[in-house]
């Protein structure tokens, strides 16, 4: 392990210890009924994994999330390449992506329900709505900011459009695309959870709202911690990939 990697690991461990200690102190101050402590939350999380209902909700969220993330990432890159490479199309349709980023997505959920009805299609569409615009905008911006030397080199080597895209264009913009995936990773998860909170028979979002309704704070904290760990692990992995691509 290199010195920088060891230092980063040490920083993560130190930050985690400080966060857990602060959590424990705050739990003592406000009471375990309002904010369960780290040990109580960990015990509830372990217990939850032994319950079939929790596993079903977790599987429902994971299934919808994987589908939505694949659509948001793949569709976002495809549209970003189109908008960035074809100026007229980008000027016409890219402003709509900026509007989607700025508009609160909750306001659009009734339209999603009207189009897709209740169930997985609606929450998948809502997840895509959260994650896709950012990927489109960042990918299109990376294409437009590409230095002209890349195109000149491709023409001088007489590369076909396919070889230019595979061997020049994609490697050049890969760091920006992967960086957009970090944002998409979190936003898509947020969209899925919000969709489950509003109208879903299964999923962690539904379980979270049900637990809040019956004042089951240990379950609420267990779900929050699980989502935090998952999002943190995914973001850290993509960040490491970005740094590797930019070397």
Return the number of other C-beta atoms located less than 10 Å from residue 123's C-beta.
Answer: 34
CB 200 within 8 A of CB 148: no
pLDDT digits (tens, 9 = 90+) for 59-114: 999 999 999 999 999 999 999 988 988 888 888 898 989 988 888 888 888 888 88
Place of tokens 């760990």: 229
CATH of domain 38-245: 1.10.3720.10
Q: Is the pTM of this model over 0.75?
A: yes
Q: Residue 2's pLDDT is what?
A: 59
**pLDDT in the model for residue 4:** 64
CB 16 within 8 A of CB 232: no
- Alpha-helical segments (H) within the chain: 3-30, 38-48, 52-85, 87-102, 109-116, 120-144, 148-156, 161-164, 170-198, 204-213, 217-245
**pLDDT beneath 70, residues of the chain:** 1-6, 8
């Amino acid at each position: 392990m290199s010195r920088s990697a060891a230092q980063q690991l040490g920083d993560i461990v130190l930050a985690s210890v400080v966060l857990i200690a602060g959590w424990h102190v705050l739990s003592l101050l406000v009471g375990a009924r309002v904010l369960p402590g780290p040990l109580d939350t960990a015990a509830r999380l372990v217990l939850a994994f032994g319950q079939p209902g929790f596993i079903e909700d977790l599987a429902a969220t994971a299934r919808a999330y994987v589908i939505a993330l694949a659509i948001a990432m793949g569709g976002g890159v495809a549209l970003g390449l189109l908008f960035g490479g074809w100026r007229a199309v980008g000027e016409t349709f890219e402003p709509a992506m900026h509007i989607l980023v700025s508009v609160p997505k909750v306001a659009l959920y009734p339209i999603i329900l009207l189009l897709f009805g209740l169930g997985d299609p609606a929450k998948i569409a809502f997840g895509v709505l959260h994650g896709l615009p950012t990927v489109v905008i960042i990918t299109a911006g990376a294409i437009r900011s590409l230095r002209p030397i890349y195109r000149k080199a491709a023409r001088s080597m007489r590369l076909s459009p396919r070889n230019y895209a595979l061997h020049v264009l994609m490697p050049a913009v890969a760091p920006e695309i992967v960086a957009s995936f970090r944002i998409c990773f979190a936003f898509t998860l947020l969209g899925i959870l919000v969709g489950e909170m509003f109208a879903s028979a299964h999923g962690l979002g539904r379980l979270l709202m049900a637990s809040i309704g019956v004042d089951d704070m240990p379950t609420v904290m267990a779900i929050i911690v699980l989502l935090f760990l998952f999002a943190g692990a995914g973001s850290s992995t993509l960040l490491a990939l970005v740094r590797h691509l930019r070397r």
